[in-house]
């Protein structure tokens, strides 16, 4: 089978299990954004990422393919019985990771300018793309077309990526720069 | 307060001042894109950016948090009195910066292929994400839900980023490659 | 002519040939995303890209400006006679390139985690942005507002970028990591 099947040339494509939809369908848009998020994690990992963060990111990339499969498979179809599902343990593990990383870090009281080391900067980019993916999942959640787990997973992931971005700077001694809002009327 | 509050797990979230909206609300979408733009600026700054450009980018990152606050705060609410605002001087300073940088550069007569040095390439990426953010702000502008200043700020910023991308190449002797459109019918 | 014309400050802009539209118009959105795709290709090229891939990417960047011109020009206008068009040879050349690169590579049987070398990671990012651009073009295709060629071009390009991402890893001996889905019910 060639990788280019040409079947999508006219703007339609297939979900898992077979239904055909336009490529701007909400489902396709949602897993397309998750794919982009996954690509930004790959990019982050290529930019001198500390080994423990790198290992965790690889796990998260793997889990995102399950998220993608869930998004690509309409509920109640035969295909739905053949895909893996998001495990509650994954979310718990993210929460533990956040708690653990935060012990390394000074308490946050202000927004910080995203940036610093290349690894940290790329994680901030992933964080924002994760949040974009979450926004695209919201219509599916609202219409009951996708499991609540997807929303939880992405919501927690963006917070984990924030903390990992801070750790990536802190470990190399790069201070985060705070945003100090000016008093209005000044 | 933990960073993961879980209150957004079901796809709703809070604006500044308190109103709750779905995460695919136009306002949330708009400041989410501004956050992504800010992250791309952080990435650009991590890629051997000349010091004067770097300093300017840090200022712009800071200003973008004011843009974000303006987008996150419905007009006419109590909260609106507590946020900073976009200053006309910021836009004027961008215009001066564009004019200044252009004196360093050969006059433009053609589109250029985005790319060259890492710093320049990342600035082109920021330029295009800035324009995406601008597109997401447009519905809010049209409906009168956000100050005109936000549109002006982002419109000028994308032009500044274009000129900075060119400067980043020019300073290291990397020539920009022109797009020479073929005559139609060829 | 200054680069900042300020004519777009209120959220409207011009197409090629002159019609004025809001910046969140489907056409503007589509060529804006193609511009972003083009910027990610520039970034990929700045990250130690093998010379043959780099040359091919430059050609593709050039061709994307023709795609952009096609998207920016309403059909049937006077302006439409003055722009270059997407050539069938370009798509054929992409298909030949895919076939050629695949001879270098082990056969694919599983999804792979996007990532590896910086060049490969960046190409995966371009791949996903290409697919996002394709999704934004779909409404225009459906409404018959843009040539079918644009859909074909972007569909093939994302497959080419996938294969190039794999080649970029394979050439430097970085193995792609497979996603092995867990059996459901586990
Ligand atoms: C949803 C989907 C996606 C989504 C989400 C997937 C996810 N789980 O996160 C995303 C957007 C990521 C995606 C991307 C791509 N996909 Co896809 N995808 C699908 C789809 C619709 C379902 C796959 C799935 O998740 N199944 C659920 C799992 C649990 O079931 P599974 O059957 O065991 O899935 C296995 C196979 O599909 C196989 N497989 C998966 N991908 C590929 C790719 C190749 C080249 C091969 C040989 C096999 C293979 O590995 C999977 C895991 O073991 C299938 C078509 C279909 N209806 O089945 C296409 C399909 C697998 N994709 C395809 C392609 C070409 C791609 C891309 C290369 C497109 C591109 N240019 O970017 C990328 C590759 C990304 C990567 N990192 O490897 C082709 C593969 C053609 C081929 N055999 O050569 C298929 C068959 C669609 C088609 N008819 O064109 N995809
Ligand atoms: C709008 C908004 C955003 C927007 C835009 C902000 C902007 N101005 O550009 C964006 C999208 C950037 C954003 C991002 C994030 N945000 Co936010 N954001 C808000 C919101 C709704 C308003 C903030 C604001 O702009 N206020 C206007 C300014 C002028 O008022 P202010 O009160 O002085 O704002 C100060 C505090 O909010 C504080 N602060 C701000 N951020 C954080 C983060 C932490 C961890 C802490 C401790 C304090 C803190 O610093 C601000 C400046 O002095 C608040 C919730 C709320 N309703 O207040 C959440 C809120 C501040 N954000 C929160 C979080 C978790 C984040 C993210 C980490 C999410 C993520 N995973 O990406 C990032 C951090 C980004 C960064 N670079 O630091 C949490 C903080 C929870 C906590 N105390 O630990 C809040 C309280 C929402 C919540 N209930 O969950 N956010
Ligand atoms: C569509 C469009 C785009 C699209 C798609 C273009 C494509 N083909 O892919 C995208 C989104 C990429 C784009 C980006 C930009 N654009 Co534009 N774009 C246009 C538009 C509407 C049509 C251009 C076109 O494709 N014509 C079709 C080709 C075949 O016809 P052409 O007439 O031969 O096009 C030539 C000229 O336009 C010239 N040219 C093109 N760009 C520029 C930029 C400068 C600074 C100069 C001096 C000349 C110039 O070179 C082209 C090729 O020879 C024109 C306005 C208009 N109505 O003509 C603006 C226009 C050319 N763009 C403009 C600007 C400022 C930009 C950006 C710098 C904006 C930004 N901040 O990102 C970037 C530059 C990108 C780059 N890599 O160089 C300005 C240039 C102002 C000036 N003379 O200084 C124009 C005139 C709009 C305006 N009135 O403000 N653009
Ligand atoms: C930190 C703040 O970011 C906003 N918020 C919550 N989720 C998202 C998302 N997916 N995208 C953009 N903004 C979001 C809310 O306003 C929250 O309070
Ligand atoms: C240079 C050209 O880019 C288009 N243009 C103006 N603003 C945006 C934006 N935010 N996103 C995409 N395209 C835009 C207009 O067509 C302008 O003429
Ligand atoms: C590999 C799978 O990706 C999906 N697909 C096809 N085109 C796009 C696109 N532009 N964006 C996101 N997903 C897409 C289809 O479901 C296809 O089967
Ligand atoms: Mg959240
Ligand atoms: Mg503009
Ligand atoms: Mg395709």
pLDDT value of position B132: 98
> Which of B22, B29, B65 has its CB closest to that of A111?
B65
Residue C115: count other Cβ atoms within 10 Å of its Cβ: 28
Output the residue whose Cα is nearest ligand 5's atom 12. C32
What is the whole-number distance in angstroms between the Cα of residue A15 and the centre of ligand 1?
10
Positive or negative: CA dihedral B163, B167, B169, B170: positive
For range C91-108, the mean pLDDT: 97
The chain-wide mean pLDDT, for chain B, equals 97
pLDDT value of position B183: 87
Cβ of A8 less than 6 Å from ligand 6: yes
**Reported pTM:** 0.98
For range C82-87, the mean pLDDT: 97
Please identify every residue whose CB atom is under 5 Å from ligand 7, which is an ion: A 155; B 8
Nearest to B40 by CA among A181, A180, C41, A127: A127
Instruction: Please state at what angle helix C26-45 crosses helix C118-142, rounded to 10 degrees.
Output: 160
ipTM at complex level: 0.97
Contacts of residue B95 in chain C, CB cutoff 8 Å?
4
Please identify every residue whose CB atom is under 5 Å from ligand 9, which is an ion: A 8; C 155
Question: What are the tens digits of pLDDT across the range C109-161?
Answer: 999 999 999 999 999 999 999 999 999 999 999 999 999 999 999 999 999 99
Q: Angle at Cα A129 formed by Cα B8 and Cα C171, nearest 5°?
A: 145
Cβ of C17 less than 6 Å from ligand 5: no
Question: How far, in Å, CA of C43 to CA of A118, rounded?
Answer: 14
Looking from the CA of residue C35, the nearest atom of ligand 5 is: 12
Cβ of C96 less than 6 Å from ligand 6: no
Confidence of residue C185 (pLDDT cuts 50, 70, 90): low
Question: How far, in Å, CA of C36 to CA of A132, rounded?
Answer: 16
pLDDT at C18 over 90: no
**C158 CB contacts (<8 Å, ≥6 apart)?**
C127, C130, C131, C134
Which ranges in chain B belong to alpha helices (H)?
26-45, 51-72, 88-104, 118-142, 148-171
List Cα–Cα distances, C109 to A32, C105, C180, in angstroms: 20, 12, 10
Q: Quickly list DSSP for A18-39.
A: S-EEETTSHHHHHHHHHHHHHH
Chain A closest-CA separation from residue B106 CA (Å): 31
pLDDT at B114 over 90: yes
> Which of A11, A58, A82 has its CB closest to that of C113?
A58
Q: Which CATH class is domain A21-173?
A: mainly alpha
- Partners of B10 in the beta sheet? none
The rounded average pLDDT for each run of 10 residues, N- to C-terminus, in chain A (186 residues) is 94 94 98 99 98 98 98 96 97 98 95 98 99 98 98 98 98 98 80
Question: How far, in Å, CA of A141 to CA of A135, rounded?
Answer: 10
> Which of A117, A120, A155 has its CB closest to that of B9?
A155
Contacts of residue B27 in chain A, CB cutoff 8 Å?
none
Which chain C residue's Cα is nearest to B184?
A: C84
List Cα–Cα distances, B123 to A44, B22, B31, B42, B159, in angstroms: 18, 32, 20, 10, 11
Position with higher pLDDT, A186 vs B94:
B94
Task: Answer yes or no: do A156 and B4 touch at CB < 8 A.
Answer: yes
Cβ of A155 less than 6 Å from ligand 4: no
SS3 of A86, please?
coil
pLDDT value of position A18: 86
pLDDT at C66 over 60: yes
Question: What are the tens digits of pLDDT across the range B34-76?
Answer: 999 999 999 999 999 999 999 999 999 999 999 999 999 999 9
Instruction: Please state at what angle helix C51-72 crosses helix C148-171, rounded to 10 degrees.
Output: 160
Percent of chain B with pLDDT over 70: 99
Residue C5: count other Cβ atoms within 10 Å of its Cβ: 12
Question: What are the tens digits of pLDDT across the range B159-173?
Answer: 999 999 999 999 999
Task: Answer yes or no: do A131 and B45 touch at CB < 8 A.
Answer: no
CB of C126 closer than 8 Å to CB of C44: yes
B82 touches A at CB < 8 Å:
yes
Q: How far is CA B22 from the centre of its chain?
A: 24
Task: Answer yes or no: do A32 and C177 touch at CB < 8 A.
Answer: no
Confidence of residue B18 (pLDDT cuts 50, 70, 90): confident
Task: Answer yes or no: do C122 and A81 touch at CB < 8 A.
Answer: no
pLDDT value of position A1: 79
pLDDT value of position A53: 98
Percent of chain B with pLDDT over 90: 96
pLDDT value of position C186: 55
Question: How far, in Å, CA of B23 to CA of B29, rounded?
Answer: 7
Chain B closest-CA separation from residue A149 CA (Å): 9
Question: How far, in Å, CA of A71 to CA of A33, rounded?
Answer: 11
Q: Which of A179, A180, A182, A185 to mutate to test the interface with B (most CBs of B within 10 A)?
A: A179
Question: What are the tens digits of pLDDT across the range B4-14?
Answer: 999 999 999 99
Positive or negative: CA dihedral A98, A101, A106, A110: negative
pLDDT value of position C184: 83
Question: How far, in Å, CA of B89 to CA of B86, rounded?
Answer: 9
**A70 CB contacts (<8 Å, ≥6 apart)?**
A83, A85, A86, A146, A147, A149, A150
> Which of B125, B138, B151 has its CB closest to that of C43?
B125
**Domain range summary for chain A, segments of one domain joined by +:** 21-173
Pairing status of strand C20-22 against strand B12-14: unpaired
pLDDT at B186 over 90: no
């Amino acid at each position: 089978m060639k990788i280019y099947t040409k079947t999508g040339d006219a703007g339609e494509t297939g979900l898992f299990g077979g239904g055909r939809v336009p490529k701007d369908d909400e489902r396709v848009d949602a897993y397309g954004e998750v794919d982009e998020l996954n690509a930004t994690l790959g990019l982050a990992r290529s930019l001198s990422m500390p080994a423990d963060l790198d290992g965790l990111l690889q796990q998260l990339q793997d889990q995102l393919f399950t998220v993608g499969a869930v998004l690509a498979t309409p509920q109640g179809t035969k295909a739905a019985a053949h895909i893996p599902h998001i495990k509650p343990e994954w979310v718990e593990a993210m929460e533990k990771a956040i708690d653990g990383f935060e012990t390394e870090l000074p308490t946050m009281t202000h927004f910080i300018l995203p940036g610093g080391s290349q690894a940290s900067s790329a994680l901030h980019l992933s964080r924002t793309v994760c949040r974009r993916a979450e926004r695209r999942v919201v219509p599916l959640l609202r219409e009951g077309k996708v499991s609540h787990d997807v929303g939880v997973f992405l919501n927690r992931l963006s917070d984990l990526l924030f903390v990992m971005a801070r750790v990536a700077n802190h470990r190399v001694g790069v201070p985060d720069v705070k945003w100090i809002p000016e008093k209005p009327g000044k």
